[in-house]
A = this chain, B = another copy of it.
Amino acid sequence: MNFASDNTGAVHPKVMEMLQKANEGYAMPYGADAWTAKAEDMVRDVFEAPDAAVFLVSNGTAANSLCLATYANPWDTVFCSRFAHAHVDECNAPEFFAGGIKITTVGEAVDKFSGDDLEQAIAQWDPDNIQNPALGPVSITQITERGTLYSIDEILAITKVAKAHGLMVHMDGARFANASVALNFTAAEITWKSGVGAVSFGGTKNGLMGVEAAILFDAEKAHEFARRRKRGAQRMSKNRYLAAQMVAYLTDDLWRETAAAANSAAAQLVKGLNAIEGVTLPFKPEANMVYAWMPRRIHERLKDAGAMYYIEAGQLVGDDPEELLLARFVCDWAVKDAEIDRFLEVAAS
């Protein structure tokens, strides 16, 4: 019963097979191999973006930081949600990779922000006042850090505001697959067709071993990104093994299959939680992540039974059995129905 994150599960067997397949003979290093070329082409195909620049990196922090650094001057401010991974969970990596940018958080809502929120956040800085930071790229997370989704209309509202100010919009798609499946839109539709300029296309949380693709739809800054990737220690010598993972991911829509499995598991979990007295879900779970307020007594039972998940607000240890603590549950592609059933059984008992 591991719902701690979608990075705790195993690598999908098909990915392991592809790694094995790639492990034949010699291949030129640093991406000058056939696997890398194929992986990049497949990403371009999936995103219907034949001119995009694609770069494989080893994790989401790298993809986000390199994308933002490529589009931000060091004297810029980047705009993102106050709960964006890039802001709260990367130990200042974007600030580091971008040479000292400032992050301006947008909106008060915990999970996502609107075009109006962005307009308001931008308004606090005067681009003609050289004392203020200059305006840099906007980053949105899809699915959000609270398990909700930006609809196409919501993305369009944001990119419209950004465009009016000349700002590039980046999408942190650590769980892009889950979003694409949940929204039932193509990769192109929820990105460049909606005005998004760069994407961190996640794989690690959805069945890969450790690969994300940074995609720049306008390849103009491709060379700069390549330099930044090398200087940022994200250019792998044995790149074929990153590429093989991505090839497996995009072959026969595996990426959507695993995401669908994770989303479906979460839906099952949501259904069960909603049926339990005293449990409330503060955010509408739209993909594979679920937040729930539950009384301490339920948490105690679950933890005793070995369930793994994070308590995001409150402390497990305490006197009042009815005190509500906020839990986060994340489902990955491999979670089994039986585990969810057992989990719900324990929770409801």
Contact = CB atoms under 8 A, between A and B. Distances in A.
B10 A228 contact: no
A157 interface: no
A34 B238 CA distance: 26
B89 A74 contact: no
Given A96-B231, A227-B75, A209 B241 contact: yes
A168 to B, nearest CB: 18
Interface residues of A, number: 71
Given A99-B100, A238-B210, A8 B28 contact: yes
Copies in the complex: 4
A89 B237 contact: no
Interface stretch (A131-139, A272-280, A314-322): A131-139
Interface stretch (A59-67, A177-185, A289-297): A59-67
A238 B58 CA distance: 10
A100 B59 CA distance: 20
Interface in A44-75: 57-59, 61-62, 65, 73-75
Contact of A7 (B76, B131, B238): B238
A148 interface: no
A130 B226 contact: yes
A190 interface: no
A99 B10 CA distance: 37
B2 A235 contact: no
30 contacts: A4-B29, A8-B26, A11-B238, A16-B19, A19-B19, A19-B209, A28-B308, A59-B236, A59-B237, A62-B233, A75-B91, A75-B228, A88-B131, A89-B132, A90-B230, A90-B231, A91-B132, A91-B230, A92-B100, A92-B101, A93-B231, A95-B95, A96-B231, A97-B233, A99-B99, A99-B100, A209-B241, A210-B236, A210-B238, A210-B242
Interface in A198-232: 204-205, 209-210, 224, 226-228, 230-232
Interface in A1-17: 2, 4-5, 7-11, 16
Contacts of A7: 29, 237-238
A2 B26 contact: yes
CB-CB nearest 7 A-B residue pairs: A2-B26, A7-B237, A62-B233, A95-B100, A96-B100, A89-B131, A91-B230
Contacts of A130: 30, 91, 226-227, 230, 235
A233 B93 contact: yes
Nearest to A339: B26
A266 interface: no
Nearest to A90: B131
A73 B92 CA distance: 11
Given A23-B16, A237-B204, A241-B209, A95 B101 contact: yes
